[in-house]
Amino acid sequence: MDQQLTGPLLYLLIVWGVVTAVFLVLLLRRSLLASHEDDQIFLDAAEEHMAKEQRELVAKINALSRPILGTGILAGVLLLLIAGMWLKEGLKGLF
């Protein structure tokens, strides 16, 4: 039971850690942007700059959707792959 992680499993763990960290940073960034978003704004013509800022903010939040989805799926797939390889190595030692 005193095995060292080496080879492909170690590299996959490192890649998974990096991808997961990027995923979490993207989620944090979207959360920070969303905290500045207003649900409703009642503006007149003189405050068009506030409406423009809100549209830009919504565009930034929407632009983060695809990278968040991609890194989340990649992190999940890598985790399943790592678990499968770990189980394969564990079962190989039993038989």
Q: 94 in a domain, yes or no?
A: yes
Q: 27 in a domain, yes or no?
A: no
**pTM for the whole structure:** 0.80
Q: How far is CA 77 from the centre of its chain?
A: 13
Q: Give the amino acid at 40.
A: Q
Contact 57, 36 (CB under 8 A): yes
Overall number of domains in the chain = 1
Q: 2 in a domain, yes or no?
A: no
> Range of 59's domain?
46-95
pLDDT tens figures, 8-50: 899 999 999 999 999 999 999 999 988 876 666 666 676 777 7
Q: 55 in a domain, yes or no?
A: yes
Q: 15 in a domain, yes or no?
A: no
pLDDT top residue among 7 and 45: 7
Q: 8 in a domain, yes or no?
A: no
Q: 61 in a domain, yes or no?
A: yes
Q: CA 74 to CA 76: how far, in whole Å?
A: 5
